[in-house]
Structure 1
């Protein structure tokens, strides 16, 4: 048995540590006092700005903190609590859904302060016919659409007249519903304008027939009609016959396209205004229509729009203007690449320890949900370096335009629609797709049974050590499904107890260049590397509890193992990663964008062969990471019998339909808590215990902890940890079968289309249901 030294981390070991020693070049003394004062003032201002816009000494993300781990047991573990609360929360949500059309109408009016759109009764019949479960949960859709009720038409174009105005609010430009007058014609004008932008396609409805259209955009390479537009066209199939003529502009890119600056919003409550201008309850931010005398490009403001940045700005510089004027992001912006970030591009970021003041370590802070709402880039602008969408090459739209996109990051104004990856069926994105017979199967041919717990602790606790499995390296879950992993002791199929991920080096663009090493996928692959330095901290039972005759073991036998006190184990990251992580790139896209090029990229990240989608089902844990935008594989992961661990900065159409810690495991954008997630459900494999504790001594007797010839067991996780993990897998699969069906995607699009028809109508009141 080998002995690995327990490594202690110093601040200089941290990849996110930045040294101030050489932050700025020294100024030479000037012979004149005036120049000295000017130099000092410049340096002072620059220091303040850079501290506001640069990475901190440690990479942390504001998440809801867990309880202090000093008196921790599995009974009081935050994951136990969050799983129980998630189940109660989701059950209550399902039970409170409307049961009849009158109930649904009243709930709509209660939530949004106005009657439903015309055709709502037809949509309700659809939900009853196809057993749609969550019929009331459309708040994210309504928040996306709310600003467009403030679009105001032009009197001189005949969009409205003074007679249309609410007589109780003369001069307000609002109708009796609180909607801006002339909004329908203005909405249609903006749709026509944005349809001329590169990588924006139209789904057009005429006389109940849908079609896809791409406007001539001067030969730009993305002129072809996108798969996203074709996907939306297909999703309209069951409702298109009842829709009026209208157009939907669809984003052909994965990245968001619409960013509206802060000064174009009016926030209810800040200046004695109310939300009735737009929302009648739909939100507290009102879009401000800017009236100008400038006639240039008034017929088509986007006629000179260029598809990419071409060095004239970038997404972050545009996005930070969505923040309040007093926010850190607005006070300073580091627009150039800094040498301070170089130390962050090639190192492993081990899970951090708690502070000397007893603060909770970030490795023991569990995300209650995804990072869409958890991260404030306005308050912590340095975090933007870690999200690739801020470096997209594609130019964004700086005004309120209706653009339909499959996902939306914080601060963007795109309107969410279901992804075509979720609706169509392909080998790469669809669980159970039979490409021979062109049909979906209830069970994917690569699916592997969950397996037995055989590598147990002294009291019967523990889980499967992958060394107990017979692994056929040729098994791929696609062309070779004859010999899945099997347990040597039982002969039964068994999933491998590892965290698995494969993907390409996508994640962001190159505007400005030089930051690819900090993108979400690159950070994850480096952190999970098999040759990294440093150690991580996992809270699990003490190693002495593993000894058959130890006092702690006796205590564990006599009492509930859930109440055994957990302690912090410092484990070498490389040893742990080899045992629990199988994370690697399979393809180097745009390697020239990585600092140092392909050679540096290959040296700093693990690469492996491509894996069929069916090959993923060999693993219990499936890591799900953002790419250029959202992850298109999430629905297939949910449909499997494995558990998705999802880290994302995006909101999708189903975000309020699904429950984190019930249907999947959420992961912060720092990923640091992933080791304690594994430790809770699966403990530490015996192979890690052997290497780390093989030559350790028993603190009670001074004798070797494991005498020669002793079988070294795993350090177990929670007694019901594996059962809880499997419960998440089953709940996710059930969610996909009942709430994440293609029929539910169509229900969402049906509802969107009815709202869209009202927004585009000359008379919005006529397109409102009479109740």
Structure 2
């Protein structure tokens, strides 16, 4: 029987049915995707110079996902693979006891990606240029230290930070060789070796990178005499000069390259005025006004204006710095400091005031769609003549609706902050009426009349203590009382009821950051300070980076929370996804167990650096089988 010239009724209806089914499936999947990453092209006022209305943060989030996937794809699952990854990245054999370190890491369920320990090698590499005996002597003679002999750690210091670090080391002391650890008891880091000197040390260190024949490798650490029983075979040390210059910028910038803006720029000495703030669109760590390179954003060498925007550069609480390369361990540092990083004491101690653990699991849908910040006016010693240059004062001021309204209307210039750059095209800056006739600078919009109201509806940001200085610390503050109204402190657990948690450096790093990451809220991190865990986190995947000037803050707020008055939806789904990814990842790589694994590897490497046989030392068990 011949085929019919026309399809049967069944076939005629089958094709449309399949098309409808496929369309329904795509729509339901797209809806599910939107619930995760938010609408792809919402009705926002932002528009790229190329005409696209896709928000630049969309691209940064996508790039972060790809970067993170690439990072974890390099995780190793065997001792042999871990050793091979080490040799490829470090150019040496792993240190003695690498097999014991690996087994310890596996017992702790640690994720092993070689890049996770990059900070260790950044910190220790210059010391390969110094004589081991001199490093040992410098550590032994430092003001505060922990001593390890015969797998027992001890200290003669009762300083609370030292006691916490001691407690941490005692959990791994059975795996540690003999050594002395010099500890920094201050908030501020101690070492700023001139850039030129560090380059010389690194050239010398590079010469020690050899892959010794496995048959000649020394696989055991040496022993040290008991404290006080050392011989005096070490050469006389050069004189160590400790500097106490209160204007820390003069010390810090020597760690930058000679041709860097920080070294070449004029030094600011007048801080009793509104500081000059660079545009977020003119900085090389930014892209379309947002941080595209977080590591670079923490390096101030290309950001000379930060000398008048960060308390540490203006007047720290205390300064005791040297240009000598000494083996001093501490909890945080700037990009130019040469201190050796340990996990900060408050991270190991896990105090409730820093972690807010009680409220860390509040469901996202139960949170307020707002940003909250509570803190003390730290950053250094703020005075009547310099407080405008302190970062926390700037952040609180620019989130004060009254001050913002005065500045936006032209009634009073900003005291210490900049209005949002016009390139952000914020919906929150659009007037509800006709365009304002008031003039504005090229860095601000023509009409900012709705911005203060929007800010009041989306932020709750205030000081809890002004920490003012006169001849000493007084509870009152006559020079900032007119601008800031302190509020009672709020437990971190209560702050977790808000979706966005901006995090701003104080005297040094912010001790709340780990608690923020472990919560179900979204950390928005502005930092110059570097910590032990930085290479484990991916910006825009686990947290939202913010420029140290905070010029991108309003844009970040509008992207995630939207602007209801202007009919602009927020990317609530994107915010939730980053918050939950950060929480999940922190639960895998920022645990106390991960601190143990990090410190064990750090100290095995340090013990090799201070050993006279270091260039022949290593672990080669995989190569001798």
Equivalent of 2:190 in 230, 237, 257:
257
Residue 20 of structure 2 is aligned to residue 147 of structure 1: no
Give ranges in structure 2 of 5+ residues lacking alignment: 1-45, 212-234, 409-419, 433-444
Residue 368 of structure 2 is aligned to residue 388 of structure 1: no
Give the distance between the partners of 2:427 and 2:483, measured in 1 at CA: 34
CA contact (8 A) 1:501 1:582 kept: yes
Does the C-alpha gap of structure 1 residues 77 and 326 become closer, same or farther in structure 2, counting only changes over 3 Å?
closer
Equivalent of 1:650 in 529, 551, 555:
529
1:516 Cα deviation after fit: 3.0
Residue 462 of structure 2 is aligned to residue 587 of structure 1: no
Identify the residue that residue 82 of structure 2 maps to in structure 1.
104
CA contact (8 A) 2:105 2:597 kept: yes
Does the C-alpha gap of structure 1 residues 513 and 260 become closer, same or farther in structure 2, counting only changes over 3 Å?
farther
1:317 Cα deviation after fit: 1.4
Give the distance between the partners of 1:377 and 1:120, measured in 2 at CA: 36
1:376 Cα deviation after fit: 5.6
CA contact (8 A) 2:298 2:529 kept: no
Identify the residue that residue 342 of structure 1 maps to in structure 2.
272
CA contact (8 A) 1:369 1:666 kept: no
CA contact (8 A) 1:539 1:679 kept: no
CA contact (8 A) 1:515 1:595 kept: no
Equivalent of 1:132 in 110, 122, 126:
110
Identify the residue that residue 325 of structure 1 maps to in structure 2.
258
Residue 208 of structure 2 is aligned to residue 208 of structure 1: no
1:363 Cα deviation after fit: 11
Q: How many residues align?
A: 521
Identify the residue that residue 71 of structure 1 maps to in structure 2.
51
Residue 620 of structure 2 is aligned to residue 755 of structure 1: no
Structure 1 residues 194-205: aligned runs within 5 Å: 195-196=142-143, 201-205=144-148
State the Cα deviation string for residues 721-762 of structure 1 (Å, max 9, x = none).
111111111111101211111101110001011101101212
Give the distance between the partners of 2:172 and 2:385, measured in 1 at CA: 47
Residue 603 of structure 2 is aligned to residue 678 of structure 1: no
Does the C-alpha gap of structure 1 residues 268 and 414 become closer, same or farther in structure 2, counting only changes over 3 Å?
closer
Aligned alpha-carbon RMSD (Å): 3.5
SS at match of 1:68: coil
Structure 1 residues 164-243: aligned runs within 5 Å: 183-193=131-141, 195-196=142-143, 201-214=144-157, 224-227=158-161, 229-243=162-176
Residue 391 of structure 2 is aligned to residue 520 of structure 1: yes
1:395 Cα deviation after fit: 1.8
CA contact (8 A) 2:272 2:388 kept: no
Give the distance between the partners of 2:394 and 2:407, measured in 1 at CA: 15
State the Cα deviation string for residues 252-302 of structure 1 (Å, max 9, x = none).
112111010133233699xxx686225569xxxxxxxxxxxxxxxx84656
1:84 Cα deviation after fit: 1.4
Identify the residue that residue 717 of structure 1 maps to in structure 2.
569
Does the C-alpha gap of structure 1 residues 67 and 210 become closer, same or farther in structure 2, counting only changes over 3 Å?
farther
- Report the more deviating stretch, 749-758 or 531-540: 531-540
CA contact (8 A) 2:428 2:454 kept: no
SS at match of 1:429: helix
State the Cα deviation string for residues 632-684 of structure 1 (Å, max 9, x = none).
00111111111000000011111110111111110001111121112222211
1:497 Cα deviation after fit: 1.3
Give ranges in structure 1 of 5+ residues lacking alignment: 1-65, 152-182, 215-223, 282-297, 433-443, 452-493, 547-566, 690-713
Give the distance between the partners of 2:79 and 2:609, measured in 1 at CA: 23
1:380 Cα deviation after fit: 4.2
Does the C-alpha gap of structure 1 residues 766 and 353 become closer, same or farther in structure 2, counting only changes over 3 Å?
closer
Give the distance between the partners of 1:353 and 1:384, measured in 2 at CA: 16
TM-score (norm 2): 0.76
Residue 582 of structure 2 is aligned to residue 732 of structure 1: yes
